[in-house]
A and B are shown apart, each in its own frame.
Chain A
Amino acid sequence: MKVWQFSEQAYHPAFDVPGAMRVTLPQHHCDPAEASGLLNRYLDEYGLADSLGYNLMVNEHHAAATCMSTSCMTTLAILARETSKARLLALGIPLANRSNPLRVAEEIAMVDLLSGGRLEVGLVKGAGYELFMSNRQPTRFMDRFWEAHDLVLAAITNQGDNFSWAGDHFHYRVASLWPRPLQQPHPPIWMTASSAGSASQHARLGYTCATFLSGAVARSVFAGYRAAYREAHGAEAPDDRLAYLAVVSVADDHNAAFARAEQMKGYFATAARLDPQFRNPAGFLPVKDNLRMLRSGPGAIRPRMRDGNPLPSDPTIEHYIQAGLMFVGTPDDVFAQLNQFHGEVGGFGNLLMMGQAGTLGHRETAENLTLFAREVMPRLADLPPAQPGPDIRYEAFA
């Protein structure tokens, strides 16, 4: 199991401001001196994680107090120079919100070169609310995503003459990627899924498939991936093509771990603070998906706990553990929870670990990362083969 440290790099002092944390939160709530300190602190924690044997994952959002990383590749360009061992994962670049995919390809190549070929590239759909910041057209969003994907891959892998590109969404007189990335034919590509359908698509392309905080639904995502991979490639999908993201809090005693988890839990509450009209902009989802969502009601996308019930609206740490969204406790507890979850969902080879989340401060984050690296990570190296548990399914929307 590869473990990846991930923090959303929140501006958590704004969590006390009432109302939305995204799109509409006025920027005067951001104290630049505080933001400067926090961003540097999060980079220090990534540096510590590198020295402890983690790989590193960064993301990006816009107009959000919950995530100050507004460019995956800017953050990774820094980490490329400040770290030496870790694989560096952008998860991800919201491709259909970018106006210039060729520039995305250029940034991929630069960071891959700077890091000595340690870059892994997540190309993601991203959340609907990001459209209010990118202002790109919501309709035919995924058509634009796939055209941008085809163009980025074509540019990165091209070894022939330069080419021009005239698509439905993008036009270039000349695609000439200087410099080229170090990893050939291209850095590993990741995508995200919360349904078997989208996982199947990633499997056919041979990309690594991550599912975020999806609990029991990870099982159907991974099963969909494995089946499609087998069909497309005539072999079992390697475990390292599957990834699961969750919050991890570990401490020497149970109470300390739960106290730490309470601070990290703020991530869930703040990430969801968004006015409803921004959640799903008109035209963003295909008509049939919108109809399905309207028919099934808001409860349908709530993660389910091990007993099949949806996560309550104000969950406790125990609820989050039962839903597979948090792994919390002593090193033995956390290992046992991870081992059980790994078995239930049919196995995966990457744990995307939020070792910092919410308001968790530097000292406790460092302790969390250090203890996990020392006491849990080595035991994840050879987990017993997955034993799928009870099949708990619900419809989720990628």
Chain B
Amino acid sequence: MSEPVDEDVLSGMQNIQVAGIDTEILIEGNGEPLLFLHGLDGLENSISLIRLLSRDFRVYAPSHPGFGATALPPHFTAIDDAALFYLDLCDALDIGEATFVGLSFGGWIAAEVLVMAPHRASRLVLGAPFGLPTADRREQYVADIFMLSPAELQARMQNSPSPARVDPATIPEAMLERTVRNSEAAALYGWSPYFNNPKLRHRLHRVAMPTLILWGEDDRIAPVAYGRGFADAMPNAEFRTVANCGHRIQIDQPEVAAQAIRDFAATSSAMEEPVT
């Protein structure tokens, strides 16, 4: 589900404890706080977007518990464990109100966090999130990544060419271990029900902060029609498709995504300014 990347992209990663849970986090840049929640391919595959965002924001980019270098906490069984973890993380790092950015699986976590505590986010950007029902009986809205062959999965995740197949024996141990952990954690949170919380759509009305939903026009994992369901369920969401872009917005269009997030932050701040 994620291909290994060079080790040096992870230089600068810090290890912290959040309510007793070992956590790795990249903190970069200066400005308003931005909590970045990565997708299924792990933090290591979002580095370019994080770097772009760090020009304007102080970016807090943790690995979800169980992803990257950290083991699944033994008591974690479902998405609400991850959501509560992020409330603890915001407390631990004294992040008051932040811009939340969540991609794919990370978008689902962002939605679950903000259902619980909407005041934590000044604004929200979701990039092709999961979380709403991914199927209805025999009709599948979102492709089942666990059923796809490795080659087809790679090809469908993005528009950019699939990375060349690498012999696992040649990959540094730490990087190989990250990919194995990312897969394991994806199975814990998303095996069944398949990457969704059946209750989420009845709760999304609580996530009323200004919201931008970005969706790759060519997303062949979660198609645009699935994405519109989020805009329909959220009171204050703008839905925008991204041209020449698949499911991995951070790989196919990192500059476009970063610009969209910057512009959205600027306009949503302006709208909030009091009338004089």
A-to-B contact residues, CB < 8 Å: 132, 135, 137-139, 275-277, 281-284, 287, 290-291, 294-297
Contact = CB atoms under 8 A, between A and B. Distances in A.
A287 B177 contact: yes
Contact of B181 (A276, A287, A294, A296): A287
Nearest to B150: A277
Interface string B1-39: 100000000000000000000000000000000000000
B169 A294 contact: yes
Contact of B187 (A283, A295, A297): A283
B148 to A, nearest CB: 6
A276 B147 CA distance: 10
B276 interface: no
A281 B146 contact: yes
Contacts, number: 62
B161 interface: no
**Interface residues of B, dominant DSSP:** helix
A132 B169 contact: no
Interface in B109-131: none
B173 interface: yes
Contacts of B187: 137-139, 281-284
Interface of B: 1, 71-72, 146-150, 153, 168-169, 173, 176-177, 180-181, 183-188, 191-192
B179 to A, nearest CB: 9
B1 A282 contact: yes
B234 to A, nearest CB: 30
Q: Which 4 A-B pairs have the closest CB atoms?
A: A283-B187, A282-B183, A294-B168, A282-B187
A291 B176 contact: yes
Contacts of A276: 149-150
B192 A137 contact: yes
Given A139-B187, A291-B173, A277 B168 contact: no
A166 to B, nearest CB: 15
12 contacts: A135-B192, A137-B191, A282-B1, A283-B184, A284-B187, A287-B71, A287-B181, A291-B180, A294-B180, A295-B168, A295-B169, A297-B169
A139 B72 contact: yes
Contacts of A277: 146-150, 153
Contacts of A275: 149
Contacts of B185: 283
B257 to A, nearest CB: 27
B173 A282 contact: no
Contact of B180 (A137, A138, A287): A287
A137 B176 CA distance: 23
B169 A282 contact: no
B44 to A, nearest CB: 16
Contacts of A281: 146, 187
